[in-house]
Structure 1
Amino acid sequence: MHGVLLLDKPLGLSSNQALQKAKWLLRAEKAGHTGTLDPLATGVLPLCFGAATKFSQLHLDADKTYETTVRLGVKTRTGDAEGEVIETRPVTCSVGQVVEVLDRFTGPIEQVPPMHSALKKDGKPLYEYARDGETVEREARHVVIHELELLDMQLQGEAPQLRLRVRCSKGTYIRTLGEDIGEALGCGGHLIMLRRTATGPFDESQCTTLEALEADSEAQRVARLLPVDILLGGHTPVALDAEGAGRFLSGVRRRGNWPDQGQVAVFGPGPGAESSENEPSPRPVLLGSGHTQGGELIPGRLLSPIEIQQILETAT
């Protein structure tokens, strides 16, 4: 089983729980996800199966887009609705102050990672320290908020809140962003809703749900998988002939007329494939990734001959 499933992760499941359920439904042996979503978050979660797991890191680094609601005037221990309330304050900010604060948090900013996160300190996840009532020193991280759009605002009433759309770089904690915005407004705040609407080139319109996957036949589930090379959309394609493909898959550098490229996706005929004048050339298949420098194609992450053969058999 090789490919990518774009899942709309449901509320209440961890990313790993959602992955394990999809893995079981697809009867896949090897699986991973590209970027964790909290149980209280929903939305786009690309799941990688088989050979696709070799390229999942590429989408951990992708920009992401979220829609979130920040409840103003109430701080919680975890920065979201799951944690206990630790402080309440009146909300006295104006519309103008909200606009000014959002402008302040747009662009390059620094964030101190939350204690309730999977980030590790001395080999131990921060959330484990938090569970023991400990707070440890964390270094601020540089992140970029590319866009911070105010979708809706309610500053009066029993539940004052801001609804925001955030497009941000990797490593951004939206819970921390919500808390920091609340602090800048003088009232504190926490997230009561978080949905990832896009990651890299993938958005929520392309996603399927676990319920739909459960209702599918086995063949329909497999048909929902996108090809492995969908993860290499930003790579320059390079095509090799049968001899070149065989050497590339052995990790041997190839010489050619290629300009320098930092990321290339390499395609060629499958292992053992040969073409002749009377037979059409074998259909190209992804062989792996690499880069080109000084007229050389330098292998990076490679698919195994078995993986390539299985992909070809599934596609026929």
Structure 2
Amino acid sequence: MARKKGRDISGWLIVDKPAGMTSTSVVNKVRWALAAKKAGHAGTLDPEATGVLAVALGEATKTVPYITDAMKAYRFVVRLGQATNTDDAEGETLRESAERPSDAEIKEALHQFVGDIQQVPPQFSAVKVDGERAYKRARDGEEMELSARPLFVESLIMLERIDADHVELEMVCGKGGYVRSIARDLGEALGCHGHVLRLRRVWSGPFEASDGISVEEIDALAKTPELDEKLLPLQVGLADLPELRCTPEGAARLRNGNPGMVIPGEAEYGDEAWASFEGKPVAVGIFKAGELHPNRVFNLD
């Protein structure tokens, strides 16, 4: 089997994704610009959405689940009065209404979408139905009965009533949230229909859109040391886990996939934590009786 070409480079590049570009296209551009052997992203954004797209390089791809599981914040504009088949502005209009809720009615309706809720994904989404992506079936004109999924919404607030037809909202939520479903269901709750007009992910876990690099900058700095300097270290993706330092012997054992001795810190028995040695991440695992039992090992040498 042919070996993948590219550099063994590890870390995170935070991109402020533009509208009109798929998340996969952004990852491919980053991989090319850094001549990286391996890259992936932590949480897909719809093509027309903007904001934080955290791209993991090399060994940092092993920490992607900790970012996809982290809390995220979105700012989005809901177009009131219209339902579309995609629940955003890219789709065909299915239903229209002349009804328009007051600001007070919108704020009151938002309460039902906060906390532990059940959310039905959009018809045009990546969830699988009998082994096939829902959006592929939807493109063929099939209407599916998609199962509701649990979602934790920490907050959902109205930022601005732009005009009678448009309202800007901000949502902080956990893993698996569909902003398009929130807009759709809010419109139905208000009796006027609704869909997402614009969407921006403002932060995801430890990563902020304001710190992101643009695609234009990536092109300008491609294959230069200046782009390498934009990389954040792998351990930034482990910000929600406690760090435990390990002994030289412990580091050697952990690198071989065996439980290794660590110096007690903030982690308690049974906690997931990450171990470091001489400032470098070594492994992620479960802390038990003075040892870390690894489930992910990093090769940063």
2:246–2:260: 8 Å Cα contact kept in structure 1?
Answer: no
TM-score by length of 1: 0.88
Q: State the partner residue of 2:169.
A: 164
| Structure 1 CA distance for aligned equivalents of residues 162 and 102 of structure 2 | 10
Task: Specify the structure having the higher radius of gyration (Cα).
Answer: 1
Q: For 2:43 and 2:145, locate their aligned partners in 1 and report how far apart those are by CA, in whole Å.
A: 24
Partner of 1:293: 288
Q: What's the % identity of the aligned pairs?
A: 38
Q: State whether structure 2 residue 152 is matched by structure 1 residue 112.
A: no
Determine if contact 1:91/1:155 at 8 Å carries over to the other structure: no
Show the counterpart of 1:302: 297
Q: How far off its partner does 1:256 sit?
A: 5.8
CA contact (8 A) 1:73 1:88 kept: yes
SS in 1 for 2:54: strand
From 42, 53, 56, the counterpart of 2:61: 53
Contact 1:261 1:292 in 2 (8 A): yes
State the distance in 2 between where 1:257 and 1:155 align.
58
Matched pairs, number: 289
Contact kept, 8 Å, 2:50 with 2:199, in 1: the verdict is yes
Instruction: Quote the offset at 1:216 in angstroms.
Output: 2.1
Q: Offset of 1:239 from its aligned partner?
A: 1.7
1: CA distance between counterparts of 2:261 and 2:250?
10
Query: Which residue type is aligned with residue 139 of structure 1?
Result: S
Match of 2:275 among 266, 277, 290: 266
Say whether 1:233 aligns with 2:239: yes
Corresponding position of 2:189: 184
Other-structure match for 1:249: 255
User: What's the counterpart of residue 122 of structure 1?
Assistant: 130
One of 202, 206, 210 as aligned partner of 1:205:
210
> Shift of residue 13 of structure 1?
0.4
Q: Residue by residue, what CA displacement relative to the aligned partner does 1:107-131 show, whole Å, maximum 9, x if unpaired?
A: 2221111110011112100001101
Alignment equivalent of 2:225, drawn from 198, 219, 232: 219
Deviates more, 1:27-36 or 1:213-222: 213-222
Match of 1:33 among 21, 24, 41: 41
Q: Conserved in 2, the CA contact under 8 Å of 1:93 and 1:155?
A: no
Separation (CA, whole Å) in 1 of partners of 2:46 and 2:147: 22
Q: Secondary structure at the match of 1:147?
A: strand
Cα deviation for residue 95 of structure 1 reads 2.4
1:83-94 to 2 correspondences below 5 Å: 83-94=91-102
- Kindly state the Cα deviation for residue 96 of structure 1 after the two structures are TM-superposed: 2.2
| TM-score, normalization by structure 2 | 0.92
Tell me the alpha carbon deviations over residues 86-142 of structure 1, each in whole angstroms, 9 at most, x when there is no partner: 111102322221121112222222111111001111210000110111122221111
Report the more deviating stretch, 209-218 or 143-152. Answer: 209-218
Q: AA paired with 1:144?
A: F
* Structure-1 residue corresponding to 2:5: none
- Do the aligned partners of 1:236 and 1:261 also contact (CA within 8 Å) in 2? no
Matching residue of 1:276: none
Q: SS state of the match for residue 212, structure 1?
A: helix
Match of 1:275 in 2: none
Q: CA RMSD in A?
A: 1.5
Q: Deviations over 1:256-283 (max 9, x none)?
A: 6644152211112xxxxxxxxxxxxxx4
